[in-house]
Amino acid sequence: MSETPLDAAAYYRWSLSPEDRARLPRYDKLVDALADSEIACHLLVEARPGQRNPMLVLAALHYSALAGDEVLAPLYGAITETAPDAFARRVVERLEARPDLVRAQLHRATQTNEPGRSAIIRAVLRELRARGVLQVHLIDVGTSMGLNLYPDFYRVNVDDPSDVAALLMEDLHGTAQSGPLPVIHQRIGIDLNPLDPENPDHVLWLRACLWPEEPQRSERFLAVLAEMKSWPRATRLQGAANDLIDGAMARCAVPATPVIFHSWVAAYFSMDQQTQWRELVMRHVGERAVWVYCEHPGGVKGLEPPSSDFDSPRPGGTQIVVAETGEEPVSWGWAHPHGRWIAMTPGALR
């Protein structure tokens, strides 16, 4: 994004979709109050290029609350007891009094690791299995803490919120979630900064990246971390996707099909990196890989996202794109950015 405070204000206001503004009344007021705060706008500009993202400032404030800041901790701890306007005003007052609280976290990155997105890779893997792909290696690019390396371990349900570790879907729009998946032989995560589920500060930061008005996401995150201890170990590779993908592919023994997956990652690449990424991955697709991504098409033009037969059923959907081995990328449908709903192209389903 551009670096002027005026654009920072606009970016705060755009940072939540209309759907999320309606669901999150306190964050709805907070992003507007941050946009009106000159100090908050300057803090956004102080973040390093590629991380000038309002979500970084929101996460830094939430992190300070979780870490016990005397004003923010009680405010966030009882968030539903404070009216939205008052919540936003008091958070911004604290930020303006103590900008150092936010500044201290600006070296970090928004690394939200959303298990809900496993519903997307799960649905795609299930369909690939139906098309004869029986065994895979899963390469999750931009893996963060690796929570999307286990689509075969998550339970999916549409009506039982008591199972906190499960992926709770609001709407599957007819997309099948049951049925066998391919066997996953190997799980490889690539990230500029892979996070360690055993590191308490990494766990705290990822909790801070979640939105405080969605306590069920935080509960699920912690429940998934507890379950993950008994899941198979994954390989984590630190570095840039474009530098590491060939090495990751070299780890994938035949005959299993390498599936290169990413969600909410390529938008962080520059246009040149996106173009190079497409070339690199398509070379592997030409040989033996499958490429699956779930990204907002407007942010990944360098990937040349394919046109879709149908629009996202709700505003702000992320596009599901699949390039099967030897084929060009095709749009398979849409999903909520956190996997709350999924709608795959009817023609893609069998």
Ligand X SMILES: C[S@@+](CC[C@H](N)C(=O)[O-])C[C@H]1O[C@@H](n2cnc3c(N)ncnc32)[C@H](O)[C@@H]1O
Does 268 bind ligand X (CB under 6 A)? Our answer is yes
Does 295 bind ligand X (CB under 6 A)? Our answer is no
Q: How far is the CB of 11 from ligand X (least distance, A)?
A: 16
Q: Is the peptide bond before 5 cis (omega within 30 degrees of 0)?
A: no
Interface residue with ligand X among 144, 175, 312, 318 (CB under 6 A) is 144
Task: Return the residues of window 157-196 that contact ligand X according to CB under 6 A.
Answer: 190-193
Interface residue with ligand X among 15, 53, 105, 111 (CB under 6 A) is 111
Question: Per CB under 6 A, which region of 35-43, 161-169, 199-207, 265-273 contacts ligand X?
Answer: 265-273
Instruction: Specify the DSSP element, H or E, that contains 206.
Output: helix 200-209
| DSSP for 168-190, written as a single string | E-SB-TT----S---EEEEEEEE
User: Distance between CA 340 and CA 350 in Å, rounded?
Assistant: 23
> What tokens appear for 343 in the block?
């709608």
Does 142 bind ligand X (CB under 6 A)? Our answer is yes
Does 114 bind ligand X (CB under 6 A)? Our answer is yes
3-class DSSP assignment, residue 254: coil
User: Distance between CA 60 and CA 54 in Å, rounded?
Assistant: 10
Cβ distance 86 to 102 under 8 Å?
Answer: no
Q: How far is the CB of 192 from ligand X (least distance, A)?
A: 4
Pairing verdict, β 330-335 and 318-323? antiparallel
Interface residue with ligand X among 12, 264, 293, 341 (CB under 6 A) is 264
Does 221 bind ligand X (CB under 6 A)? Our answer is no
Cβ distance 341 to 329 under 8 Å?
Answer: no
Does 338 bind ligand X (CB under 6 A)? Our answer is no
Q: Which residue's CB comes closest to ligand X?
A: 142
Interface positions with ligand X (CB under 6 A)? 109-114, 117, 142, 144, 148, 190-193, 240-241, 263-265, 268-269
